[in-house]
Chain A
Amino acid sequence: MPVQRVSQSFKDISATFQINPLNRDLIALNNSYAIARSIRNLIMTVPGDRPFNPVLGSQVTNLLFENLDKLTALTIKSEIVNTIENFEPRVRLNEVNVKSQPDQNQFDVKIQYYIVGIDVPLQELTFALEPTR
Chain B
Amino acid sequence: MPLVNFSNIDFDQIKVSIRDYLKANSNFTDYDFEGSNLSTIIDTLAYNTYISSYNANMVTNEVFIDSATLRENVVSLARNIGYVPRSRKAATATISFEVNVSEKNISTITLQPGIVATSSLLFGNQSYVFSVLEETKATVSPGGIAFFQNVPIYEGTFVKQSFTVSPRTPNQRFILTNTGIDTSLLKVIVKRDESSTVSRVFRQFDSLYQIDSKTPLYFLQEIENERYELLFGDGIFGMKLSEGALSYIETTYVVTSGELGNNISEFSFAGQLLDQNGAAITTGISVISTESASYGGSSIESVESVKKYSTQIYSAKNRAVTASDYEAIVPQIYPETESVSAYGGECLEPPAYGRVFISVKPHNGTHLSSSIKRSIANDLRRYSVAGIIPEIIDLKYLWIETDSNTYYNTNLSSGPDNVKSTVLSNVLTYSNSSQLNKFGGRFKYSKFQKVIDDSSEAVTSNITTVTMRRDLEAALGQFAEYEICFGNRFYIRNPGKPPVMDNMIIGYNIRSSGFKISGLSNTLYLGDVPNPDLKTGSLLFFKLNSPTEVVVVKKSVGTVDYIKGEVKLNATKFIQTTVNRGAPLIEISATPYSNDVIGLQDLYLQLDMNNVVVSMVDDRISSGNDNSGSNYLVKSSYVDNLIRGNPIYSS
Contacts and interface: CB of A to CB of B under 8 A. Distances in A.
Given A2-B23, A50-B34, 8 more contacts: A5-B32, A9-B29, A11-B30, A12-B30, A34-B36, A38-B33, A51-B11, A88-B35
A13 B42 CA distance: 11
A72 B465 CA distance: 70
B28 interface: yes
Interface in B17-52: 20, 23-24, 27-30, 32-38, 40-41, 43, 46-47, 50
B334 to A, nearest CB: 52
A30 to B, nearest CB: 10
Contacts of B30: 10-12, 34, 38
B12 interface: yes
B34 A87 contact: yes
B23 A3 contact: yes
17 contacts: A3-B23, A10-B29, A11-B28, A12-B28, A13-B37, A13-B41, A29-B37, A37-B35, A37-B36, A37-B37, A38-B33, A42-B34, A51-B11, A51-B43, A53-B43, A88-B33, A89-B33
Contacts, number: 72
Contact of A38 (B1, B24, B35): B35
Contact of B40 (A5, A41, A90): A41
A23 interface: no
Contact of B36 (A3, A5, A38): A38
Contacts of B1: 3
Contact of A50 (B27, B36, B43): B43
A52 B20 CA distance: 19
Q: How large is the interface on A (under 10, 10 to 19, 20 to 34, 35 or more residues)?
A: 20 to 34
Given A12-B28, A28-B28, A52-B12, A41 B20 contact: no
B37 A15 contact: yes
A56 interface: yes
Interface string A1-20: 01101010111111100000
B35 A39 contact: yes
Nearest to A39: B35
Contact of B46 (A12, A29, A51, A56): A51
Task: Tell me which of B11, B27, B30, B46 has the highest count of chain A C-beta atoms within 10 A of its own C-beta.
Answer: B30
Nearest to B32: A5
Task: Tell me which of B29, B33, B35, B50 has the highest count of chain A C-beta atoms within 10 A of its own C-beta.
Answer: B35
Nearest to B11: A52
B24 A11 contact: no
Task: Tell me which of A29, A51, A88 has the highest count of chain B C-beta atoms within 10 A of its own C-beta.
Answer: A51
Contacts of B41: 13
B37 A42 contact: no
B17 to A, nearest CB: 12
Nearest to A88: B35
Interface of B: 1, 11-12, 20, 23-24, 27-30, 32-38, 40-41, 43, 46-47, 50
A7 B34 contact: no
A58 to B, nearest CB: 11
Given A51-B47, A52-B11, A52-B12, A41 B29 contact: no
Contact of B38 (A12, A42, A90): A12
B284 to A, nearest CB: 71
A117 B78 CA distance: 66
Nearest to A43: B35
A41 B37 contact: yes
Contacts of A45: 35
Contacts of B35: 37-39, 41-42, 45, 87-88
Nearest to A3: B23
Interface in A38-77: 38-39, 41-42, 45, 50-53, 56
Contacts of A53: 34, 43
Nearest to B29: A11
Contacts of B37: 12-15, 29, 37-38, 41
A12 B23 contact: no
A56 B34 contact: yes
A7 B28 contact: no
Contacts of A9: 29
A85 to B, nearest CB: 12
A34 B46 CA distance: 22
A41 B36 contact: yes
Task: Tell me which of B11, B33, B40 has the highest count of chain A C-beta atoms within 10 A of its own C-beta.
Answer: B33
Contacts of B28: 11-13, 28
Task: Tell me which of B23, B27, B29, B32 has the highest count of chain A C-beta atoms within 10 A of its own C-beta.
Answer: B29
A50 B12 CA distance: 12
A73 to B, nearest CB: 22
| 3 pairs of A and B residues whose beta carbons are closest in the complex | A38-B35, A42-B35, A12-B30
A27 B346 CA distance: 84
A12 B36 contact: yes
